[in-house]
Amino acid sequence: MKRIAVYCGSATPADPRYIDLAREVGATLAARGIGVVYGGGRLGLMGAVADAAMEAGGEVIGVIPEALANVEVEHTGLTQLVTVKTMHERKALFTELSDGFITLPGGVGTMDELWEAVSWAQLGYHQKPVGLLNAFGFYDGLLAFNRHMVEVGFIRPAHQGIIIAEHELDLLLERMAAHEPGEQIIRMDPTTL
């Protein structure tokens, strides 16, 4: 993988473990020669990922919608900052520029990005690994709910493994590198996003 889209929030939780985790992800990806594609902000987990990757000599591409450029305080110290018109364009560019996705702890926007990556994998818009870093058990409830959707029949058995979840970054990256695309509902043309 040459680049990974990192989904995370612009918030700074009171618990410092979350910022430390974001910095670890940025530094580790840079050390492995993997570029970071992310939301383009300089605050919270977003800023921590970007800063650590840049400090380690990595490539960092930020993608931020015009409306959020000032609200999220765009990061001007990146390899490249791309400003787009809409959130949809932002997510489409994440998919275009990256070879996979890692979701860190985050809020509503982070969930939107994760579920869209999963949905697009089901529909065949991409065949890239969708990783979930379940550090500190943050996503235990979400993973239980995902299993529940499978058990009830809202997620097909062929798609239950789209989310690759691990508690540790190194193991998550290993599993993502070994990713084999699964069955898709249909094969969509990614240029129609």
Q: For 6-22, what is each residue's pLDDT tens digit?
A: 999 899 999 999 999 99
Domain 3-178 falls under CATH 3.40.50.450: yes
Instruction: Using pLDDT thresholds of 50, 70 and 90, give the confidence band for residue 191.
Output: low
Q: What percent of the chain has pLDDT over 70?
A: 93
pTM across the whole model: 0.92
Q: For 83-118, what is each residue's pLDDT tens digit?
A: 999 999 999 999 999 999 999 999 999 999 999 999
Is pLDDT of 24 > 80? yes
**Domain ranges for the chain:** 3-178
Mean pLDDT of the residues in the chain: 93
| CA 10 – CA 152 distance, rounded (Å) | 34
Is pLDDT of 182 > 80? no
Residue type, 159: H
pLDDT at position 14? 97
Residues 6+ apart with CB under 8 A from 54: 26, 30, 60, 77, 78, 79
Is pLDDT of 158 > 70? yes
Please state whether 47 falls in left (phi above 0), alpha (psi between -120 and 50) or beta. alpha
Q: What percent of the chain has pLDDT over 90?
A: 82
